[in-house]
Amino acid sequence: MYGQPVSPEEAAAQCPPGTGGLVYHAHLLPDDYTPPEDLADASTGELKPRRASLPVRAKDFLASLVMTADGRVIFSGVLNGWPGLTCLELRSITCKLVGRLSAQIVRPWDAAKDGGSMPDLATIFVADDSNRNVRATLRMASWSSHGWSPSSPGAVWWFHSQRAAKKVAYGEDIIRGLRQGYDDAGDKPPACTRATLFAHRYALGKRPESTKDKVTYHGAILLEWDHGAFCTVVELATLNGCGGRKGKANWHRDKLQEVTELYSYMPPELIAPWHTDLAEIRCHDVPMRTPEEFKEFLDEFTGPDLRFIDPHFASRGSRHCGDVRLTFRRQDHIARYLLNYMGRDGRYRQEFRNCQTFAADFFSFLAGHKDIKPFHPVCRVAYRNRSHLFLYEPDAFRDEEDPASASDGT
């Protein structure tokens, strides 16, 4: 949606001044430019929605800008059809001018020096026909670095797929919803009884596995509850990696449907382009009632043309399958631990903060086992257990150097 910006007052309220928000880069295209097939419909020429590169016609983009009373320029609309990108502050517009012998980077508009004025097409697109690489840098509100809304911080979401009223809750609303739902029923949230660590490689279809693929395993935790009605898969992955890919998750049978059940329940703010250097925690309630039933599900979808390759699932009595020994282990308590973990460190790094390191931290914390390591030796090299991050209130450390980042040598 373009050309219908909100009022300056509303834009300022939705995107207040401040630094630290998530940054996105939109590619501005002139009206006479014909994009490649991966960006536009070949028959109509219309730009395809929800592309990772955020293509947008320059006139549409500029028609969606509004200036606030303090001189900031805000994009207000729906950028490239992404429901999560509706209000962002414009920070700069950068052009790459390609000449015969070299390329030059120019910045026709910069908030630092041009704040208080609107960018215009005449300064963005020069007469050079080769100038097709124009990028707008936009920044979301500062609260976006800690979650998907200012009222519910926390980069954790939970798909309550086995409840009568299905929903995807995120951030602090996970805990509020759990407590309110069970209080209204005169009951308490279920208690977590057992955890199992498992790992697998991804099936790649016809593409042969590379050397890196053969050592890349996804690690996760399966939780059991005292009601015995269903289990929950908990995993760490890249921020918006699921919402940005149409809600397709391996733990649900309808993954290959055009619109999955998970996608249909996702709040719009979770549907945005992914960030490969930031993380989120995803909790999926699944209908399998026991680890044995879940392992049957893994086996059913194991194969080069399916979902999983070489799954490893800890058996009962093994070191990686054990009782949850925490004193406070209700579902709302588990959600609090996960929010604490993400609130202290929101990074995703293949070397030392990834799905396997999280699974090791989480299982060690739940079961009270020492010396739990990531599944694959490659991930053990830089691993240091950080189970303590589950325990502490993130806001209490905002004004201090984050010990999580200081302890891993980065």
Domain layout of the chain by residue ranges: 8-145, 147-406
CB count in 10 Å sphere of residue 310:
11
Q: If DSSP codes are grouped into helix, strand and coil, which group holds residue 381?
A: coil
pLDDT at 410 over 70: no
User: For position 143, what pLDDT does the model report?
Assistant: 96
Q: Average pLDDT, stretch 224-246?
A: 98
Task: Classify residue 135 as exposed, middle or buried by CB count within 10 Å of its CB (0-12, 13-18, 19+).
Answer: middle
Residues 134 and 95 sit within 8 Å (Cβ to Cβ): yes
Q: Average pLDDT, stretch 359-369?
A: 97
Residues 341 and 390 sit within 8 Å (Cβ to Cβ): yes
What is the distance of C-alpha 125 from the center of its chain? 34
Amino acid at 55: P
Q: Are strands 275-286 and 156-160 parallel, antiparallel or unpaired?
A: parallel
Q: Are strands 231-239 and 218-225 parallel, antiparallel or unpaired?
A: antiparallel
Residues 107 and 136 sit within 8 Å (Cβ to Cβ): no
Q: What are the pLDDT digits (tens) for 183-219?
A: 666 678 999 999 999 999 999 999 999 999 999 999 9
Q: How confident is the model at residue 250 (pLDDT cuts 50, 70, 90)?
A: very high
Q: Average pLDDT, stretch 357-374?
A: 96
Q: How confident is the model at residue 168 (pLDDT cuts 50, 70, 90)?
A: very high
Listed range (176-185, 335-344, 364-373, 375-384) with the worst mean pLDDT = 176-185
Q: What are the pLDDT digits (tens) for 9-52?
A: 999 999 999 999 999 999 999 888 888 888 888 888 899 999 99
For residues 253 and 184, the model is more confident at 253
User: With the C-alpha atoms ordered 310, 316, 317, 320, is the resulting torsion angle positive or negative?
Assistant: positive
pLDDT at 399 over 80: no
pLDDT at 131 over 60: no
pLDDT at 101 over 80: no
The CA R_g of the chain, rounded to the nearest whole Å, is 23
pLDDT at 125 over 80: no
Distance CA 103, CA 100 (A): 8
Q: 251: closest CA among 331, 177, 158? A: 158
Q: Are strands 23-29 and 55-57 parallel, antiparallel or unpaired?
A: parallel
End-to-end C-alpha distance for the chain, whole angstroms: 41
User: For position 218, what pLDDT does the model report?
Assistant: 98
pLDDT at 132 over 80: no
Task: Classify residue 142 as exposed, middle or buried by CB count within 10 Å of its CB (0-12, 13-18, 19+).
Answer: middle
What is the tally of helices (H) and strands (E) in the chain? 12, 15
Q: For residue 81, report the phi and psi dihedrals to the nearest 5 degrees.
A: 75, 5
Q: How confident is the model at residue 407 (pLDDT cuts 50, 70, 90)?
A: very low
Q: Which helix (H) or strand (E) holds 123?
A: helix 121-124
Q: 401: closest CA among 344, 339, 316? A: 344
pLDDT, mean over the chain? 92
- Beta-bridge mates of residue 135: 27, 94
Q: Average pLDDT, stretch 99-114?
A: 85
DSSP 244-300: GGTT--TTSTTTTSSS-HHHHHS-GGG-S--EEEEEEEEEEEES--SHHHHHHHHHH
